[in-house]
Amino acid sequence: MSRALASNGAKKVYILGRRKNILDQAVADIGHDNVVPIQCDVTDQEGLNSAVSFIESDIGHINLLVANSGIIGPSGGVPPGSSIAQVQEALRKIPMQEFTNTFHVNCTAVFYTAIAFLGLLDAGNKKQNYTNGRSQIIATSSISSFNRRITDGFAYGTSKAATTMMLKALATYLVPHRIRANVLCPGWFPTDMTADHFHGNDPTAEGAFPLNEIPAERAGTPEDIMGPLLYLSSRAGAYCNGNCVITDGGRLSVTPATY
C-alpha cells in the first residue's frame, strides 16, 4: 500500500510500525525518497501522539490516513462432525485474553489511530489542496466481517465486523468536519499473517484455489489491493464516503455471507 501511494503522486508517505528494522527494509524496498518511517505501536496512545507530533512538526497536515494493522488471533478450530460437547470444549479453551487482544489490535487500535490523526486530517482540508477529495480515513478490514462461515476463528471475524461498522459510523460522525471514512475488505492475500495457510505454494497462481472456494481461482496480488486503494485515495474516489470496497475474487459470492 505504501508503495502504491509513494509511486502514484503522494508528496510524502509516513509508514508507522513497531519494528524499526522492518520499517527500514520497507523504505529500502519501496525505493522512493518520499517515504518516511516512524516507529510506533498503534495499540499505545502515547506512541500515536508521538507520531502525530512528529508529522505536525515535519509537514503539519495529512490528506489520507490508512489504518492497516491487524492480527489473526486464536482460531479455536473444531473438526467437522464434532459433538456439541467437543465444540464447547474447543471453544472454551480459547484464552479470553487472546480473544480480547484480537479486538484490541483489529478494532480498538484502528479507532484510536483515527482519533489521534483527526487534527492533521482537518489541517489537510484547510490547506485546500484536496483535488483528490477531502481528507479521508481508510481502514483495512476483511471479508470475514461479512462471512458467516468461521474460517479464521470467532475473534478475527467479529473484530473485523466491528471495524467495518466503526468506519461506517465514523463516516457519518465526521460529516460536520468534512472528513471521510471508507473501508477496504480484502479476501485471501499472501501476507506474513496468512503465510501458514498456503504451505509454501504460490496462492496467486490461477488454479491455486477451486472455483467453488474463490471464483477467481487464486489469491489476490498486490495490484488487487493497490488498485482499490488508489481508487479511494484519488480523484476517482473523491465522491466515496462510508463505502466498503470488497476485493476478494468473488469469494463472498460462494459462501454464506451478509453484505
7 is catalytic: no
Mean pLDDT per 10-residue segment, the chain (259 residues):
93 95 93 94 96 98 96 87 94 95 97 98 88 92 93 93 98 98 96 68 91 95 96 96 97 90
What pLDDT sits at residue 197? 66
The residue annotated as part of the active site, out of 135, 144, 159, 160, is 160
What pLDDT sits at residue 128? 77
The residue annotated as part of the active site, out of 141, 142, 144, 145, is 141
156 is catalytic: yes
**What is the longest distance spanned by two Cα atoms in the chain?**
61
In sequence order, the β-bridge partners of residue 136 are 64, 180
What pLDDT sits at residue 92? 93
Listing DSSP states for 54-100 in one string gives HHHHHTS--SEEEE------------TT--HHHHHHHHHTS-HHHHH
Do residues 214 and 111 lie in contact, with contact meaning Cβ atoms separated by under 8 Å? no
Sheet of strand 136-140: strand arrangement: 64-67, 136-140, 180-186, 244-247
d(CA 136, CA 130) in angstroms, rounded, equals 10
Do residues 183 and 167 lie in contact, with contact meaning Cβ atoms separated by under 8 Å? yes
**Total-model pTM:** 0.93
d(CA 145, CA 124) in angstroms, rounded, equals 30
What pLDDT sits at residue 226? 96
What pLDDT sits at residue 152? 86
Q: Which residues touch 158 (CB under 8 Å, ≥6 apart)? A: 103
The residue annotated as part of the active site, out of 2, 135, 156, 159, is 156
Listing DSSP states for 212-250 in one string gives TT-TTSSPPPHHHHHHHHHHHHSGGGTT--S-EEEESTT
Taken in order of first residue, the domains within the chain and their CATH numbers are 62-254 (3.40.50.720)
What pLDDT sits at residue 150? 86
Show the cell assigned to 36: 518516511
Do residues 42 and 19 lie in contact, with contact meaning Cβ atoms separated by under 8 Å? no
What pLDDT sits at residue 75? 85
d(CA 157, CA 144) in angstroms, rounded, equals 5
Which one, of 4, 142, 118, 13, lies nearest residue 70 by Cα? 142
